[in-house]
Amino acid sequence: MTQLIGSYSMGLILSLLAVGVLISFRILAFRDLTVEGSITLGGAVAAAMLVSGWNPWLATFVAFLAGGCAGAVTGVLATKLKINGLLAGILVMTALYSVNLRVMGRSNLPLMNEKSLMTFAQHLGTAEQPTASGGTWTIGRWVIRTADLRVIGFLTVVIGSVGAVMYAFFQTNLGLAMRATGDNEQMICALGVEVGWMQTFGLAISNGLVALSGALLVQYQGYADVQMGMGMVVWGMASVIIGESLVGSRQIGMLLIGSVMGSVLFRLLVANALRQGLNPNDLKLATALFVLIALVGPSAVDAASKKFRTAVKT
Amino acid sequence: MLDIEQIRKTFHPGTPNEVRALQGVDLKIDEGSFVIVIGTNGSGKSTLLNAVAGSFFVDTGRLKLNGQDITHWPEHRRARFIGRVFQNPFTGTAPSMTIAENLALAARRGRMRGLGWALNPSIRHELYERVRGMGLGLENRLNNAIGSLSGGQRQSLTLLMAGLIKPDLLLLDEHTAALDPKSADQVIRLTEEVIRRDKLTTMMVTHSMQQAAHLGDRLIMMVRGRIIYDFQGAEKRRLTPEDLLDRFDEVRRSDLLDETAASMLQRQYV
Ligand SMILES: Nc1ncnc2c1ncn2[C@@H]1O[C@H](COP(=O)(O)OP(=O)(O)OP(=O)(O)O)[C@@H](O)[C@H]1O
Ligand SMILES: [Mg+2]
């Protein structure tokens, strides 16, 4: 049960990564690989600030801003310096590796007894003193820590608020223009929007959310690691793809909800696969294969069925 | 109103693919005039419109709109004054967004886009009225994705979008060429209506001699990156589709002559 709750919480945290990937890959149609560096950047900034005794809310917010800057740099490289978008992302991601090491001061930075948003969440609404085990509930043979439930509640509120803000943003004049930028660049340019600026701004928001995800992740698992971004783009894509098939709609609100649901579901699927004996070393291979199948599967099935039909006819 | 002074544009200069698309085009367009642009394939009609809209910068020459020099303005900056409809119905609209959202985007053409609701009730109401005014019955489908509409419906909406904020200049590049005859007629009727109602200064490229003869108050014909005919006033009014076809034949014949002359020279000298 604890494991299930853990997976659920992780899924919620990583849903911000999924929303970030949704914005860059789907809404802006920009293949942004900065994500791998910016999730670590968010984690590194938050961890470094927490260790130095900063307020966890402030640390998390600064992590968001740092991610936004990383995204903006990729945007400027791609739109002002006209570097290929994929390459711009790779350049920034690579540079961020060193930046993250600088920020953390070493490759792995544990949080010991620092106050974090998670310690804050664990004691929300109780006068209970922080203890190692805390209170528990027993339902049948399941024992649930109330602190874990509070964390889930807290994360749900945070993710819900971020999702609501993003949804509202995409209904504004600015947000509409951003969606149109990915949908039809030529049209939105003819309507007076500077496409390069809009993409840069979108990438900043996207990577800000990804870094926010990293900051929460670090506070949840209790350490930052310079390797933690590895494979996160594909992870985010998997969540987005699952989400799209779950909601089956292209509406922006549904896509946002789908990404969150997709992230949680994917995390649960992975946890289950690991329990069934999937070697953790094979996890990234499995994730990549999953995304590959989801990307080429539908068209391959189409082609195969067409071939089959013509074969039957002749 | 629009002053085009000696503009030239060469694509891929200095390569085997070099194309001299505009070779010194001069054109002054008065406020409120409706200019038809015709010409053979590849004669530079689209290039002329794109140069005015700012899709690229011209190599030499000047462009002035309302007395302002816009030669070095990027496309998105010129958009404040220019409305466009393209040949391809897919170019003018954002397919995965709704009709209302597309219109709301056009309602802020060239303006600041801030954090105000794009579709607040008053804008929604105004858009509803505008769409109803087109008489296509699309006003009850405002929340449908525009990608689900036919080409003719999309072109009609693009036209509405281009005129939603009154543009100083309307550019239409064969905007009915991709449509079936019935939709094309409908879009043309709408075009006339919009232009007449708002007295829009317009440049319209067309391949239809019917449209060229019957619409507009001025007609220019382009050949190989130059304007070779310019009919205005009574002269334009007298033009029939047959006259225009004759002119095309003339051009074709002189082109042929050029080619035979060139090959003769080649035989003599090479
Ligand atoms: N972006 C571009 N890059 C390279 N060549 C171009 C470009 N745009 C136009 N051309 C070339 O310039 C010439 C003029 O093209 P343009 O599209 O203006 O012709 P047009 O008069 O609109 O013809 P059509 O009637 O076929 O639309 C053509 O030879 C075309 O291949
Ligand atoms: Mg053309």
Q: Which residue has a Cα nearest atom 25 of ligand 1?
A: B41
Ligand number with the minimum distance to the CA of B39 = 1
Q: What pLDDT shows up at residue B252?
A: 80
Task: Give whole-number Cα distances, A283 to A17, A230, A275, B76, in Å.
Answer: 18, 12, 12, 46
Ligand number with the minimum distance to the CA of B48 = 1
In this predicted structure, the answer to whether residue B256 has a pLDDT above a threshold of 70 is no
Q: Which residues contact residue A216 at a Cβ distance below 8 angstroms, ignoring those fewer than 6 apart?
A: A13, A16, A60, A117, A155, A158
Residue of chain B whose alpha carbon sits nearest to that of A177? B105
Residue A230 CA to residue A207 CA, distance in Å, equals 15
Q: Given CB atoms, is A191 within the 8 Å cutoff of chain B?
A: yes
Which stretch of B12-21, B233-242, B246-255 has the lowest confidence by average pLDDT?
B246-255
- Phi and psi at B69, nearest 5°, equal -80, 110
Check CB contact under 8 Å for A172 and B119.
no
B chain contacts of residue A189, beta-carbon cutoff 8 Å: 75-76, 79
Check CB contact under 8 Å for B94 and A188.
yes
B chain contacts of residue A201, beta-carbon cutoff 8 Å: none
Q: Which residues contact residue A301 at a Cβ distance below 8 angstroms, ignoring those fewer than 6 apart?
A: none
In this predicted structure, the answer to whether residue B215 has a pLDDT above a threshold of 80 is yes
Percent of chain B at pLDDT exceeding 90: 74
Produce one character per residue of B34-63: b if its CB has 16 or more CB atoms within 10 Å, e if not.
Answer: bbbbbbbeebbbbbbbbbbbbbeebeebeb
Q: Strands across the sheet with B202-205, in order?
A: B82-85, B169-173, B202-205, B34-39, B218-223, B226-232
Q: Tell me which H or E stretch contains A237.
A: helix A232-247
State the pTM of this model: 0.90
Task: Give the amino acid at B269.
Answer: Y
B5 - beta bridge partners?
Answer: B62
Task: Give the pLDDT confidence of B98-127 residue by residue, as tens digits.
Answer: 999 999 999 999 899 999 999 999 999 999
Ligand 1 pocket: which of B17, B25, B38, B45 to mutate (most atoms <8 Å of CB)? B45
The residue ranges of chain A whose pLDDT is under 70 are 1, 127-134, 313-314
In this predicted structure, the answer to whether residue B172 has a pLDDT above a threshold of 60 is yes
Q: What pLDDT shows up at residue B269?
A: 63
Query: What is the distance of C-alpha B186 from the center of its chain?
Result: 17
Q: What pLDDT shows up at residue A85?
A: 95
Q: What pLDDT shows up at residue A250?
A: 83
Taking a contact as any Cβ pair under 8 Å apart, which residues of chain A between 140 and 179 contact chain B?
169, 171-177, 179
Residue B58 confidence class, pLDDT cut points 50, 70, 90: very high
Which domains, ranges and CATH numbers included, belong to chain A? 2-282 (1.10.3470)
Residue of chain A whose alpha carbon sits nearest to that of B84? A190
Residue A212 CA to residue A79 CA, distance in Å, equals 25
Residue A226 CA to residue A106 CA, distance in Å, equals 8
Q: Given CB atoms, is B119 within the 8 Å cutoff of chain A?
A: yes
Check CB contact under 8 Å for B79 and A250.
no
Q: Tell me which H or E stretch contains A225.
A: strand A223-225
CA distance A264 to chain B (A): 26
Q: Which residues contact residue B125 at a Cβ distance below 8 angstroms, ignoring those fewer than 6 apart?
A: none
The mean per-residue pLDDT over the stretch B25-32 comes to 94
- Best B113, B115, B117, B155 member to test A by mutation, with max A CBs in 10 Å, is B113
Q: What pLDDT shows up at residue B268?
A: 66
Token pair listed for A5: 């709750």
The mean per-residue pLDDT over the stretch B91-100 comes to 95
Q: In this structure, how many other beta carbons lie within 10 angstroms of the beta carbon of residue A286?
A: 16
Query: What is the DSSP track for B209-242?
Result: HHHHHHS-SEEEEEETTEEEEEEEHHHHHH--HH
In this predicted structure, the answer to whether residue B263 has a pLDDT above a threshold of 80 is no
Please determine, looking at this structure, whether the domain spanning B2-258 carries the CATH number 3.30.1280.10.
no
Task: Give the pLDDT confidence of B189-198 residue by residue, as tens digits.
Answer: 999 999 999 9
State ipTM. Answer: 0.88
Q: What pLDDT shows up at residue A134?
A: 59
